[in-house]
Amino acid sequence: MAEKALAVARLASALDEGGVLFGSTILGKHARRNAFARILLRVYNRKGIFSNLEDSEEGLRGALEKSFTDVRTERVGTVALFEARGPRRGAKNLPLPKDTNIHGNVIDATRM
């Protein structure tokens, strides 16, 4: 989750004070799934489509709390949904990847 924590910090530095970061991840750790889902998860991670074998709800929450003052997570099955508000300003001006699209307070980070 260290790379994702850095991405979250970069996103937080790009958000306005009233901005919201939200999204989801399929949990790789501590999630029960059937055999087909386990195989599919491994294949997608091997091909680089996903990068979530080490994702946990606790790790996600910790990464978000380092960069935001108000964090909410909710687990639905094997998916963690998240919403983060109040970007902390200690990590200002971290560079964002070139293909990141920013539209006001909405950041398209689908390629991160």
The DSSP-derived string for 17-28 is TT-EEEEEEE--
Q: pTM of whole model > 0.85?
A: no
Does the structure show a pLDDT above 60 at 111? no
**pLDDT of 37-95, one tens digit each?**
889 999 999 999 988 988 999 999 999 999 999 999 999 999 999 999 999 976 555 56
User: What is the residue extent of each domain of the chain?
Assistant: 2-88+96-108
Backbone phi, psi, residue 46, to 5°: -65, -40
Going 41 to 45 to 49 to 55, the CA torsion angle's sign is: positive
